[in-house]
Structure 1
């Protein structure tokens, strides 16, 4: 098997994390801060893994969905896509302004039609906007057994400092 550029080992299929726990934190930010602390103290952070435990998919509702929002969002999204496509075409043809205006017009029309059909087809089954996020109940910091004791000692110093 050949190695990728840079000599890094290929990742392969997903495998469960290994190592000894050297810290456990309620938020990812705190686990990240712990690893940063280890790095600041010249610890071999390649031995460390942050593992999210008790994963949850969280859907946060950000607003009500109605026809004005669907159309407004489609106009904005279509305009951005139209700007991108119009600029690309304009660069190759030398007619930037014309291509830009055409791209925006067709982008808005296409996106408004697509979003309107999709919203109408939902028949009110999902009249809200939301964002999805994967979060964990806690974040464990695992470490290779050969350096785990040193890592645990350093993280103990961090917890006493705060």
Structure 2
């Protein structure tokens, strides 16, 4: 939701005036997109997250088999790309498929080895796989003082449209 926030100046923080505040990064990005679509010079604006926190989502149990599988899958992609590039220089004998198959095989093997090595050296009792993200409680849109009023006026229009009114 759109709300007007007071300008708070912290040491080392972005000291441009706040022209709008949103609860999610997606809402703030859509608002900046609206500014861009309406001719606002978005290079003079920014999005500032406040009250940051780290959110870690547990994806599952960490096992050597999972690490080897993930490493092999990554290695397959790398091997495929290497095989494709090498097959371009293989010549007309048709050995391009052999380069691709070899790339896939070696990529999977070395990827699995790398995945296992990473697992054994970095787990140290962790026991699970997770994904981390930094999220904010509030996302402020700031703009240079010279264009802040224009941004505020456009964001009021954006709010009317997003509310259906």
Task: Please give the TM-score of this superposition, normalised by the length of structure 2.
Answer: 0.76
Off by >6 Å, runs of 4+ in structure 1: none
- Quote the offset at 1:119 in angstroms: 2.0
- The alignment of Structure 1 onto Structure 2 pairs a total of residues equal to 148
Structure 2 gap ranges (5+):
1-11
* Maintained 8 Å contact 2:72/2:110: no
Provide the rounded CA distance (Å) in 1 between the counterparts of 2:123 and 2:18.
Answer: 50
Unaligned stretches of 5+ in structure 1?
A: 1-14
Structure-2 residue corresponding to 1:47: 44
1:51-130 superposed matches below 5 A: 51-94=48-91, 95-122=95-122, 125-130=125-130
The alpha-carbon distance between structure 1 residues 156 and 65, as it changes in their structure 2 partners (threshold 3 A), is: same
Aligned pair in 2 of structure 1 residues 17, 89: CA closer, same or farther (>3 Å)? Answer: same
Distance 2:153 2:135 in 1: 28
Give me the CA root mean square deviation: 2.2
Match of 2:33 in 1: 36
**What's the CA shift for 1:140?**
0.6
Local SS of the residue matching 1:110: helix
